[in-house]
């Protein structure tokens, strides 16, 4: 009703100059009018300008006097023309009225207070205080002297009154159209979507507040392992390319092109782009030669190495692909010893079960220096794993195309009371390092392990699918404690 009143009035008039009088004339509550004006203004149907006015309102005391008369007049009327004793007079009035009434009536010289007798000095008095209060209550103007007197007696206080003046807005219409917020099935079926006016998007809306974030256990363990590497003086390798060429992932690592890992059953090859664009040509030539016929004291594999096979793009199957790039880059400058590490995602085309996923994370460390031996590797592994809380280690000879010797790493698990395999390691072969251009007395010791394995052990998770992937229970992630490796 208030909305129709405002819009309807503006149809024939240019302005509502004062929402207060407008509301009063129509017997509508002013607050209701104000809410409607704010809403119409928001949708630009009207333009509203603030009006502020200071006005006087009666205090509670003021209101009782407007009703019953001022105390001084009440007192005056209680004094009969023949006079009255103080005692009698006091009995006729409320204590506050008697007290205030005496003060004011004496001040106005209306009565005389004798020792025991009270008498009138006038026959008749006017209640100007009450009259002024009633005028203010009715919103009528009152002179400044009266205002000051009433203010001093705390019978009135000032109040800021807020209202609006209103004119037509740019989107004015005599009736507000209901705008739709959703396109419904019914809109589509009835075909009325063509006529429906939709609410505009509010791109400035704040949106739902997010719940506090929390770190995934893999991130917590990664952070701890990162700290261990940094404490040991290792530098992080850039692992930000999941897509790699077969060349860096396999060929540079002296992994023959017929190796079963290079089959699509084990590796994800890319369809688009299916091949790499550039490779360092003279290095490619040296890699081809070492595969085909060896060199550097090796006999090679004795097969015909194919460039097409090396060009094929894949999702890297291990972070050793990054290590091979880093070692090649290192070989291009004057030699300096390096310790490198990385912790990042790798991909394998594997049947998913409780301990295997098609994507997981590898931790890799390597040290490149002159005169390194297997003894150095064993020593560094003891240092590294004891920092992870695993100080009982055993090594078992193993095979990797790119390391010789190679060792599987086992750690004694006190809880399970048995040896568990925790990683793989070795010394990179000369067939890998010498074609890169590294000096021939430089050795590289290296090791790798999954990030998931220690995380599952630390957090007591026995199914990898509870840790990573779409079946992860988010509340479990939120409740997980901080990582406490090696404590």
Residues in touch with ligand PHE (CB under 6 A): 318, 320, 364, 400, 403, 424-426, 446-448
Confirm if 395 and 382 have CB atoms less than 8 A apart: no
In the complex, minimum distance from the CB of residue 479 to ligand PHE, in angstroms, rounded to a whole number: 32
CA distance 56 to 139: 8
Q: Considering beta carbons, is residue 105 or 367 the nearer one to ligand PHE? A: 367
Using DSSP's 3-state secondary structure scheme, residue 68 falls into: helix
In the complex, minimum distance from the CB of residue 262 to ligand PHE, in angstroms, rounded to a whole number: 14
Q: Considering beta carbons, is residue 120 or 222 the nearer one to ligand PHE? A: 222
In the complex, minimum distance from the CB of residue 210 to ligand PHE, in angstroms, rounded to a whole number: 37
In the complex, minimum distance from the CB of residue 250 to ligand PHE, in angstroms, rounded to a whole number: 11
Phi, psi (rounded to 5 degrees) for 466 = -80, -15
Confirm if 437 and 290 have CB atoms less than 8 A apart: no
- What tokens were used for 386? 């004891």
In the complex, minimum distance from the CB of residue 181 to ligand PHE, in angstroms, rounded to a whole number: 54
Sheet containing 359-370: give its strands across.
235-236, 338-347, 359-370, 442-450, 418-428, 403-413, 393-400
Q: Considering beta carbons, is residue 132 or 252 the nearer one to ligand PHE? A: 252
Q: Considering beta carbons, is residue 176 or 356 the nearer one to ligand PHE? A: 356
In the complex, minimum distance from the CB of residue 448 to ligand PHE, in angstroms, rounded to a whole number: 3
Contacts of 226 (CB under 8 A, 6+ apart): 236, 341, 343
- What tokens were used for 346? 């790798």
Q: Considering beta carbons, is residue 313 or 425 the nearer one to ligand PHE? A: 425
Confirm if 125 and 104 have CB atoms less than 8 A apart: no
DSSP string, 119-176: EES-S----HHHHHHHHHHTT----HHHHHHHHHTTSEEEEEEEEEEEEE-TT--SSP
CA distance 165 to 15: 7
Phi, psi (rounded to 5 degrees) for 463 = -125, 120
- What tokens were used for 117? 């007798």
Q: Considering beta carbons, is residue 136 or 434 the nearer one to ligand PHE? A: 434
Q: Considering beta carbons, is residue 120 or 316 the nearer one to ligand PHE? A: 316
| Residue 243 host element (H or E) | strand 243-245
Q: Considering beta carbons, is residue 166 or 409 the nearer one to ligand PHE? A: 409
Which residue, judged by CB position, is nearest to ligand PHE in the bound state?
A: 448
In the complex, minimum distance from the CB of residue 318 to ligand PHE, in angstroms, rounded to a whole number: 3
Long-range contacts of 418-422 (CB under 8 A, 24+ apart): 419/394, 422/385, 422/390, 422/449, 422/453, 422/454
Q: Considering beta carbons, is residue 156 or 218 the nearer one to ligand PHE? A: 218
In the complex, minimum distance from the CB of residue 291 to ligand PHE, in angstroms, rounded to a whole number: 19
In the complex, minimum distance from the CB of residue 272 to ligand PHE, in angstroms, rounded to a whole number: 26
In the complex, minimum distance from the CB of residue 403 to ligand PHE, in angstroms, rounded to a whole number: 5
Contacts of 177 (CB under 8 A, 6+ apart): 197
CA distance 265 to 350: 8
Looking at residue 208, the DSSP 8-state letter turns out to be P
Q: Considering beta carbons, is residue 239 or 320 the nearer one to ligand PHE? A: 320
In the complex, minimum distance from the CB of residue 379 to ligand PHE, in angstroms, rounded to a whole number: 16
In the complex, minimum distance from the CB of residue 207 to ligand PHE, in angstroms, rounded to a whole number: 43
Confirm if 129 and 72 have CB atoms less than 8 A apart: yes
Q: End-to-end distance of the chain based on CA atoms, in angstroms? A: 72
Q: Considering beta carbons, is residue 6 or 346 the nearer one to ligand PHE? A: 346
Strands 338-347 and 235-236: parallel
Q: Considering beta carbons, is residue 364 or 452 the nearer one to ligand PHE? A: 364
């Amino acid at each position: 009703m208030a909305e129709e009143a405002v819009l309807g009035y503006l149809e024939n008039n240019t302005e509502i100059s004062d929402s207060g009088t407008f509301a009063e004339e129509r017997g509508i509550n002013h607050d209701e009018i104000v809410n409607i004006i704010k809403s119409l203004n928001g949708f630009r149907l009207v333009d509203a300008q603030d009006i502020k006015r200071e006005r006087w309102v009666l205090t509670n005391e003021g209101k009782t006097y407007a009703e019953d008369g001022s105390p001084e007049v009440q007192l005056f009327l209680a004094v009969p023309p023949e006079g009255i004793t103080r005692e009698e007079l006091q009995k006729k009035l409320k204590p506050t009225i008697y007290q205030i009434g005496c003060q004011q009536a004496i001040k106005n010289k209306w009565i005389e207070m004798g020792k025991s007798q009270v008498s009138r000095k006038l026959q008749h008095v006017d209640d100007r205080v009450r009259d002024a209060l009633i005028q203010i209550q009715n919103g009528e103007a009152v002179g400044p002297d009266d205002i000051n007197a009433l203010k001093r007696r705390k019978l009135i206080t000032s109040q800021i009154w807020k209202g609006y003046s209103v004119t037509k807005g740019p989107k004015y219409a005599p009736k507000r159209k209901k705008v739709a917020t959703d396109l419904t099935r019914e809109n589509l079926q009835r075909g009325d979507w063509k006529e429906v006016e939709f609410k505009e998007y509010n791109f400035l809306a704040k949106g739902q507040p997010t719940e506090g974030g929390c770190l995934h256990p893999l991130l917590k363990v990664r952070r701890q392992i990162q700290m261990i590497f940094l404490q040991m003086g290792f530098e992080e390798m850039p692992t930000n390319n999941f897509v790699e060429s077969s060349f860096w992932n396999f060929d540079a690592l002296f992994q023959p092109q017929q190796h079963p890992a290079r089959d699509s059953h084990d590796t994800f090859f890319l369809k688009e782009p299916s091949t790499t664009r550039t490779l360092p040509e003279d290095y490619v030539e040296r890699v081809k030669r070492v595969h085909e016929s060896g060199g550097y004291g090796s006999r090679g594999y004795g097969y015909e190495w194919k460039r097409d096979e090396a060009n094929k793009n894949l999702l890297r199957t291990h972070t050793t692909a990054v290590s091979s790039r880093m070692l090649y880059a290192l070989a291009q400058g004057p030699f300096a010893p390096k310790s490198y590490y990385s912790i990042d995602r790798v991909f394998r085309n594997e049947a998913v079960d409780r301990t295997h996923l098609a994507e997981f994370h590898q931790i890799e460390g390597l040290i490149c220096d002159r005169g390194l031996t297997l003894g150095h590797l064993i020593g560094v592994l003891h240092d590294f794993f004891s920092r992870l809380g695993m100080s009982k280690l055993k090594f078992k000879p193993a095979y990797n195309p790119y390391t010789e010797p190679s060792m599987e790493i086992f750690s004694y698990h006190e809880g399970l009371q048995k040896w568990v395999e925790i990683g793989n390691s070795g010394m990179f072969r000369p067939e890998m390092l010498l074609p890169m251009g590294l000096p021939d007395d430089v050795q590289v010791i290296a090791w790798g392990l999954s990030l998931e394995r220690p995380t599952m052990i630390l957090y007591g998770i026995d199914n990898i699918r509870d840790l990573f992937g779409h079946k992860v229970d988010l509340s479990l992630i939120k409740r997980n404690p901080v990582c406490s490796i090696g404590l």
